[in-house]
Amino acid sequence: MAFIDDNGRARISEAITRAENKTSGEVVALVAQSSDDYAYVPFLWAALAALAVPLPALWIPSLSLPVVYLIQLCVFIGVVMALRFQPVLKHVVPAGLKRRRAHRHAMEQFLAQDMHTTPARTGVMIFVSVFERYCEVIADEGIYKKVDGEVWRDAVDAVTKAVRDGRTADGFVTAIDLCGDVLARHFPEDASADDVLPNHLIEI
């Protein structure tokens, strides 16, 4: 995923302000570089690779135990070092694990960013995790009661497609506009409502 430049950040802020001008709800956009460091994953793969080393030794009786052990150690260290590079690591972390970690991180950030503190519980977070290539829209309790979760699918699809095309900011802007339209239908503008959540892209 390409990083979002200053122009993209400005466009996202403008989109949030535009969306919130027509609804009493609030929209937050957040992008995380990763939802986990996955530090243990290289060691798991390295252990599996090292355990497989003795198998060929069954057909090479001339290999002594110390030599086999040395080969195992070299394989373990080599695999760990190779998989520590993120471009490689992202291909060996199971997809299901990445989804679970990213979803958990999204829920943690929903609370950490005080999304649940709006007076009417009408906050919506658009969450993207770069390493996992994951996007999720999370709506607070006040919205969840009135809006089916499937309505956010178009927003998620807009972000994921734009990310694949290298247009991350465009994806956020489209998703924010879509979320703003949904909120406006169910939670029209209220001049007395305070803007309590940030209108800029949150980057962690």
* Token code pair at residue 181: 């339209």
Residue 142 phi/psi, 5° resolution? Answer: -60, -35
- For 121-131, what is each residue's pLDDT tens digit? 989 999 999 99
The model carries a pTM of 0.85
Q: Return the closest-CA partner of residue 25 out of 135, 156, 159, 190.
A: 190
**pLDDT at residue 119 in the model:** 81
Rounded CA separation 15/126 (Å): 13
Answer for the pair 124, 143: CB distance below 8 angstroms, yes or no.
yes
**pLDDT at residue 1 in the model:** 46
**pLDDT at residue 18 in the model:** 95
Q: Which segments of the chain have a pLDDT < 50? A: 1
